Structure 1
């Protein structure tokens, strides 16, 4: 079998890349070892996060770092056995989170963030996925007046980015979310970010994009990316239906991307932030109308087709370590104080892995030492958000088109 391009990885980033390559006239084979739309593309909070113009940085406040060091927080947890394993990444992440470096990362990510909704909208319309997407933003909720006041001031500082917000006092918040507790111990104020969209089933959205890719003549094959061999002009991968060969191959494997870039000798410091989710039924008369972030505890409650999805913050642990649900249990206890969740839908919580780079931006572009090898991974918390935008950029680079944003900040050779 032959194609113009092989895309390895059928998550939101890989599928978006395949669709954009296809739109530019390339024959594309999409290869994954499992069904499309699984992995990290399934387990996120479902936010197309247009308002997240400043990347998630490592905290610079000593008080915050010390609080995390106690390892009792619901938003960040670490496994003591793996500290030596994650320490090099954390040090680089901390260094890149200085005010100056964070400003550089913000400028680098802004074009992709700004394009996120429009790029999704085009694919949503073509894939007939409007039933999965809501255009009512998400809510950042606060339980401490001083944290709320600080967040309002911070939101005002983002006015140059043209983001739309509504500042909600307890009464205004209760009008939007009558089932969520306000008053003593509850929400004292909130910020409604109006520009983002939310997805009620991220895995299904990815599968709809895959079906669109197939309807347009693309091939989806079961195969193991570890079988990649060769060099330009002939890269090949073994699949269940035989070998597929192409002059170009794209690594879009998310947290598994290290499987290949390390083998080919690229010193890219990819880190993994683990996270958990679980769905809960709501009792009769209880509702959650918007995705809501408890900003002081670091979890998200999002209405999904499967129920209300509770997603945790970050867990630093070896990617292959068995699940430890203590962080999810802490988040659930806190969430139940705000919203009367019912019983869990699943017997076992879901564990996912977010692929992150310490400078808070992905690798998008050519593998600088191997002709025909391309990278598109490391999207951290924003794989769903910028998957279509980064797929467009990568497709333009592969096909020699003028890129719609400057690709320099995402080069693979920026790490030493």
Structure 2
């Protein structure tokens, strides 16, 4: 065999899997059609979300559902042409989001969330000093525009923080603006989650981890994941340098993972939630200290190396449909005055895909029908958060080590 393992996908999850397998003496090839960190890992809000102890659930309140049905909100936009294809997936998502089932999902995800910062820190300790400065320990803030929404959210958040030993500061109007003086008076209070970390260039961080993999003797190749093929006791993939082979294959292609698993007969309900980002010039003297979520409008403003990055909520549309720009325009209308956004810095909005399963758990583990086939995808909004911890868990399973947590909730065969 050319390699012991071929990892398909050079986003944060695939790169992390490659590093952890290499750390366990496996000869690994990392294959993607693009360079590391140039897909979904490039365009997120840059959060390592230690406080995300409850998954993003389908809304259950009638008021929220009616608001979304009008299709005029900032945090969700849906393309009517795409709804029929999304309907079965959304129905299951709604079912899995009942209070009792959501509680189970939160319990299942907690071991991954609890280790997310530690696993990033372990990799950061091994990369160069310049790359390590990409990550900041300033947490993130939920900002609120109306006192009623702030009061209700603060009560729930403080209970959650106490239950999970999280560090949370509840900020009234004066405290919020003292902590983040660049904000306008549009916000009346905020919740500062201090355990998470933020990344000022997620794509560059993924590339730094990929460089660590290469420095350890790993191989990065440009190739077509759709050519993955089982031959006898080997998996083969065509790359620009020729066809390579390995006994084991890891599918870590995020929203594109179905291009490999579907032809092999697996019916995993993976769908992509679309989202956009744009960078803006900062016009105020004070510098934004951490990412801020405008909770009532549903977008994030994050301080990045390139400027202030606005990251939108969810767009439900066909994966290959042209960009609409609708969500970005709606969010920009709220954010420009609130955050002092100046001119746009990107020629075009960036469009990315969040790979989601309806039960709000990633798919991590061995495929049921093929020897040597492993899956690591479906991390929804938390790919950056869970990349390194996923890499550890998968590598432990693949090399016969005792996993740090029970991997049963993430098994592919649950679908």
TM-score (norm 2): 0.98
Equivalent in the alignment of 2:404: 404
Equivalent in the alignment of 2:176: 173
Equivalent in the alignment of 1:243: 243
1:414, CA displacement in angstroms? 0.5
- SS for the counterpart of 2:82 is helix
RMSD across aligned C-alpha pairs, in angstroms?
Answer: 0.9
- SS for the counterpart of 2:176 is helix
Would you say 1:198 and 2:178 are equivalent positions? no
Tell me if the contact between 1:232 and 1:371 (Cα under 8 Å) persists in the aligned partners: no
What per-residue deviation string (whole Å, max 9, x for no partner) do you get for residues 174-203 of structure 1?
Answer: 111111112xxx111100000000000000
Equivalent in the alignment of 1:164: 167
Equivalent in the alignment of 2:40: 40
Tell me if the contact between 2:198 and 2:291 (Cα under 8 Å) persists in the aligned partners: yes
Distance change >3 Å, CA 199–CA 168, structure 1 → 2: same
What per-residue deviation string (whole Å, max 9, x for no partner) do you get for residues 269-293 of structure 1?
Answer: 0011000000001125253221100
1:232, CA displacement in angstroms? 5.8
Q: Which runs of 4+ in 1 moved over 6 A?
A: none
Of 145, 150, 156, the residue aligned with 2:152 is 150
Equivalent in the alignment of 2:19: 19
Would you say 1:220 and 2:220 are equivalent positions? yes
- SS for the counterpart of 1:31 is strand
Structure 1 Cα separation of the partners of residues 168 and 91 of structure 2 = 34
Equivalent in the alignment of 2:132: 130
- For these two proteins, the number of residue pairs brought into alignment is 412
Structure 2 Cα separation of the partners of residues 75 and 180 of structure 1 = 20
Would you say 1:254 and 2:254 are equivalent positions? yes
Structure 1 Cα separation of the partners of residues 287 and 326 of structure 2 = 26
TM-score (norm 1): 0.98
1:284-363 matches, within 5 Å, as 285-363=285-363
1:336, CA displacement in angstroms? 1.5
Q: Give 5+ residue unaligned stretches, structure 1.
A: none
Would you say 1:52 and 2:52 are equivalent positions? yes
Structure 1 Cα separation of the partners of residues 339 and 376 of structure 2 = 38
Tell me if the contact between 1:279 and 1:309 (Cα under 8 Å) persists in the aligned partners: yes
1:337, CA displacement in angstroms? 3.0
Tell me if the contact between 2:8 and 2:253 (Cα under 8 Å) persists in the aligned partners: yes
Structure 2 Cα separation of the partners of residues 220 and 339 of structure 1 = 40
Tell me if the contact between 2:284 and 2:340 (Cα under 8 Å) persists in the aligned partners: no
What per-residue deviation string (whole Å, max 9, x for no partner) do you get for residues 301-354 of structure 1?
Answer: 000001100000000000000000011000000011311110000110000000
Structure 2 Cα separation of the partners of residues 231 and 396 of structure 1 = 25
